[in-house]
Amino acid sequence: MWYKIFMLIMVPALAIAWLAYYLYMRKVCQEEKKMPKPHLQKTRSEVADWAKKMADYQPPKRPKPRQQGQDSRGDSDQSAS
């Protein structure tokens, strides 16, 4: 009995939800078609400038690893005893 009541309410609710979703997505697609498409092409000079900048790029140098005897905090193994 409860199952029938539940299904009589939920099946139409689910159908209405899918219909609303379809109509909303259709509206969004129509609005996207009306909008102008952005042009993502670069001019040759912009590409050449970018290539020159990348050719001149110098990666940062990594600091040398510290030796065990040189601890900046001052607490080495020898001073612990």
Residue environment code for 11-22, b if the CB has 16+ CB neighbours within 10 A, otherwise e: eeeeeeeeeeee
pTM across the whole model: 0.44
Q: 75 pLDDT exceeds 80?
A: no
User: What DSSP string runs through 38-69?
Assistant: PP-PPPHHHHHHHHHHHHH--PPPPPPPPPTT
**Res 7: pLDDT:** 95
What whole-number distance in Å separates Cα of residue 7 and Cα of residue 15? 12
Amino acid at 10: M
**Res 73: pLDDT:** 59
- The answer to whether 76 and 69 have CB atoms below 8 angstroms apart is yes
Q: What is the pLDDT of residues 26-71, one digit of tens each?
A: 999 999 999 887 666 667 788 888 889 988 888 888 888 887 765 5
**Res 9: pLDDT:** 95
**Res 11: pLDDT:** 96
